[in-house]
Amino acid sequence: TLRLICTTTAVQRKNAGASGPEKYTEAFIKKQIEEFNLGKRHLANMMGEDPETFTQEDIDRAIAYLFPSGLFDKQARPMMKHPTEVFPEQRKIQWGEDGRPFHFLFYTGKQSYYSLMHETYEKFLNVQKHQEQMIAQDLPLQKEKRNLAGSRWLTKIELEEMLIEKLSDDDYSRFIQLLQKLVALPCADIEENYIQKFSKEVPVQLQKVVIEPLQYDERGVAFSTGEGKRKTARATAVVYDNGTGKITVNGTDMLHYFPVLQDREQLLFPFQFLGRIGKHDMVCTVSGGGRSAQAGAIRLASAKALRSFVTEKEVEFMRQAGLLTVDPRVKERKKPGQEGPRRKFTWKKR
Amino acid sequence: MAAPSAAGLGRRLRAWLPRIMPVRWSRYNPSYLEPEVKKESYQKPLEELTEEEREQSELKAVRPIKAAPPTLSSSVFSDPMISKFTNMMMKSGNKVLARSLMSQTLEAIKRKQLEKYHKAPENEKETIECNPYIIFHQALKNCQPIIGLSNITRGGKTYQVPVPLTDNRKRFLAMKWLITECRENKHRRTMMPEKLSQELLLAFNNEGPVIKKKHVLHKMAEANRAYAHFRWW
């Protein structure tokens, strides 16, 4: 049961903070947490598992088993989560008994955002002062470059969660600009701790994909398979070693299947990039899509198959040439009230 | 297929700074980088690269890369300028026709130049350029205007103000002038490759109607020099 705490009429008139007056008191949330823990132990006993080592995943599985639901929306199904995930974080009431706000920037409307900006600027001035001191003492300025490629700034949503306050796009971009200015200074290493609060590691992508080893068929010839898609076309390619550069598509030669030069160029692109034009044979099957989509699908499939024949460095080169990414562009849907995806109906004055 | 949704691409993963919500969006996450297709750039050893290039290569090692479009290829025959020109010549998405016209144009240029080569005396044979790609690039370069005009309205009157042009705009104008010139101002029965090859050869020698148009534009800009201060960007 939710209960509004008693507020003075003055408070009720002002629209307090981001999302209205505090709906859940601290005592209420504490009670919810106790009930949740008790419920967790009961559930563990019911399922016959150890109450001490009952994780959230076990809870989800148990609830899905005990209360099966056929509803489409996952968030409409019964769930049992820790109260901090269910009840959104709320700011406490920011003024005292007499109505006087605690924070000195309360009347700006976005107190946490402006206090954050002030703090960051203070660090900036600090770094500048330090830099001037170093120059005055003729000491060398440190130039250790932060690894820009491996980290990113917090997104707007993450920053909003951190500050528990709504931000506008303009505010967010101003904050990021200030951070970038701070990082650009040579002596910014002093404030590294502060900066790390606002940056996140980007996981290095490349080690995700596992390259399959070569397979050998009856004659002892090495081959490898790959699958590719583009728009609605799906293709599978089998690339054989010790070949003459013959390419067979759906049982017919590629010259007959793709009369257009551009498609044939696309088929040969991976081979030409690696310099292995006359060395491999290819047999592929493709279905769906149009002429150009099928060519793109086969290109992706053959590039994936060639990864097994080639060194890791060359795989990296292929990835940077754009041969190993699935092209996500598809036909845009037609919207109601318009004639096509972008074209609007002819505007008539009357 | 599934309807494209900007939110579905993972809003949280984007460290994107939108100032104005863009109307044209792409299916790629903004962190995707453009692919580099040329083989030579991958064979350079690390020491030869400048600082910027080193940073670029480090960034490329971490970020995902977009898929190469079907018009781009690492073969010696694919040229970005020629592809751009072919796309501009294309009507209603008929790429096959546009590409065949382009290849016929280049063939026609080669034939004309070879004719001239065989008829010329010995000492002039070296000055005649036979490579159609070189002729195409040089002709486009000759057609590019240096300065453009833009309409600015002040106090009710619209003035033509001289304005600097970006590289892309210059290339676009040169190509557009060539194509419109060929489509409109020639005899109806001549084929496009013939018309285009004639125009390109004239432009290569700094003659012809397109070069004249460029000179007219320059003269107008020179004449309207007085209004140059109206430009605020």
Please name the helix (run of DSSP H) or strand (run of DSSP E) that holds residue A330, with its range, or none: none
Q: Please, which pLDDT band fits residue A203 given cuts at 50, 70 and 90?
A: low
* Domain B80-230 part of CATH 1.10.455.10: yes
Residue matched to tokens 């300065």: B147
Q: Which residue, A178, A201, A224, sits at the end of a domain?
A: A201
Q: Say whether both A241 and A183 belong to one domain.
A: no
Does some domain include residue A326?
Answer: no
A60 touches chain B (CB under 8 A): no
pLDDT digits (tens, 9 = 90+) for A297-334: 999 999 999 988 888 888 889 998 999 999 999 998 89
Q: Say whether both A311 and A235 belong to one domain.
A: yes
Question: Which whole number is the average pLDDT over A156-165?
Answer: 87
Q: Say whether both A72 and A128 belong to one domain.
A: no
What is the count of structural domains for chain A? 3
Nearest-CB residue to A292 (from B11, B12, B70): B70
- Asked if the model's pLDDT at residue A77 lies above 50, the reply is yes
Q: Say whether both A146 and A194 belong to one domain.
A: yes
A266 touches chain B (CB under 8 A): yes
Mean pLDDT of chain A: 85
Residue A58, CB-side half-sphere exposure with 13 Å CA sphere: 16
CB–CB of B12 and A148 under 8 A? Answer: no
Cβ neighbours of B201 (radius 10 Å)? 20
Question: Which whole number is the average pLDDT over B131-160?
Answer: 92
Residue spans per domain, chain B: 80-230
A132 touches chain B (CB under 8 A): no
Count chain A–chain B contacts defined by CB atoms under 8 A: 110
Cα separation, A196 vs B105, in Å, equals 59
Nearest-CB residue to A157 (from B12, B18, B42): B12
Q: Say whether both A81 and A119 belong to one domain.
A: no
pLDDT digits (tens, 9 = 90+) for B14-40: 444 444 445 678 888 878 889 988 888
pLDDT at res. B55: 79
Pairing, β A233-240 against β A281-287: antiparallel
pLDDT digits (tens, 9 = 90+) for B43-74: 877 676 678 888 788 888 878 889 999 998 88
The interface predicted TM-score (ipTM) is 0.82
DSSP B199-233: HHHHHHTT-SHHHHHHHHHHHHHHHGGGGGGG---
Provide the whole-model pTM: 0.73
Q: Say whether both A242 and A192 belong to one domain.
A: no
Pairing, β A247-249 against β A281-287: parallel
Looking at residue A221, which CATH number applies to its domain?
A: 3.30.230.10
A94 touches chain B (CB under 8 A): no
A262 touches chain B (CB under 8 A): yes
B30 touches chain A (CB under 8 A): no
Q: Say whether both A77 and A112 belong to one domain.
A: no
Q: Please, which pLDDT band fits residue A144 given cuts at 50, 70 and 90?
A: low
Q: Say whether both A193 and A222 belong to one domain.
A: no
Q: Which domain holds residue A74?
A: 26-86
Does some domain include residue A96?
Answer: no
Nearest-CB residue to A322 (from B16, B18, B67): B67
Cβ neighbours of A52 (radius 10 Å)? 7
- Asked if the model's pLDDT at residue B133 lies above 60, the reply is yes
